[in-house]
Amino acid sequence: MIDSYSRVQALSVAAERLLHVREQAAVDRPLCEFVVLADTERPQQSLEQIIAATIDDTDQLYLTQVRPPNTFGVRMSARVGACGPPRAALLVLGGLHRAS
């Protein structure tokens, strides 16, 4: 779960394994420390803008791809939707795969 400041507020056990971080170490840290948009050359929106738009429009669902920061050539599918209360975004990550 990501708050309106793009800070991690909760992490599932599966996300802990995928991102190699424990929930206690991730909470209240910026999402960009764990994932960034995979397509940085042609970004339509930043990941932070996607999070904010999802929180503002609870009917919106975004599909995109992300990657760990400073790691290139790998991607994870990502779905971003609203959750709450309190209003927040839920980021669901798919498995890590090599970009082609």
Torsion angle in degrees (nearest 10) through CA of 64, 70, 73, 75: -30
Per-residue confidence (pLDDT) for residue 97, from 0 to 100: 77
Q: Which pTM value belongs to this model?
A: 0.86
Q: Are 62 and 53 in contact (CB under 8 A)?
A: yes
Contacts of residue 68, Cβ cutoff 8 Å, sequence gap at least 6? 19, 34, 35, 36, 74
Per-residue confidence (pLDDT) for residue 36, from 0 to 100: 93
SS3 at position 92:
strand
**Per-residue pLDDT tens digits for 43-85:** 678 899 999 999 998 888 999 999 999 888 889 999 999 998 8
